[in-house]
Structure 1
Amino acid sequence: MLKAFVLLVFVFIHFVAADFYSSKYDDFDVEPIIENDRIMLSYTKCFLDEGPCTPDAKDFKKIIPEALEMVCAKCTSKQKQLIRKVIGAIMEKHPEAWAQLTAKFDPGDKYKESFDKFIAGTD
Structure 2
Amino acid sequence: MLIASLALLSALSTVTADFYSSKYDDFDIQPLLANDRILLGYTKCFLDQGPCTPDAKDFKKVIPEALETICGKCTPKQKQLIRQVIRAIMDRHPESWKQLTGKFDPEDKHKDDFDKFLAENRK
TM-score range, shorter-chain basis?
0.7 to 0.9
**1:72-97 deviation digits (Å, cap 9, x = unpaired):** 00000000000000000100000000
d(CA) in 2 for partners of 1:84, 1:68: 12
Percent identity among equivalent residues? 72
Tell me how far 1:44 sits from its aligned partner: 0.3
SS of 1:29's partner is coil
TM score, norm. by length of structure 2: 0.85
The C-alpha deviation readout for 1:5-58, integer Å capped at 9, x for no partner, is xxxxxxxxx689610000000000001001100000000000000000000000
Match of 1:67 in 2: 66
The answer for unaligned runs of 5 or more in structure 1 is: 1-13
Distance 1:34 1:90 in 2: 9
- 1:60-81 deviation per Cα after TM superposition (whole angstroms, max 9, x unaligned): 0000000000000000000000
TM-score (norm. length: structure 1): 0.85
Structure 1 consecutive aligned stretches of length 4 or more whose deviation exceeds 4 Å: 14-17
Number of equivalenced pairs = 109
Task: Report the residue type matching 1:83 in the other structure.
Answer: I
Identify the residue that residue 5 of structure 2 maps to in structure 1: none
Name the Cα RMSD after superposition. Answer: 1.5
Structure-to-structure mapping, 1:7-86, within 5 angstroms? 18-86=17-85
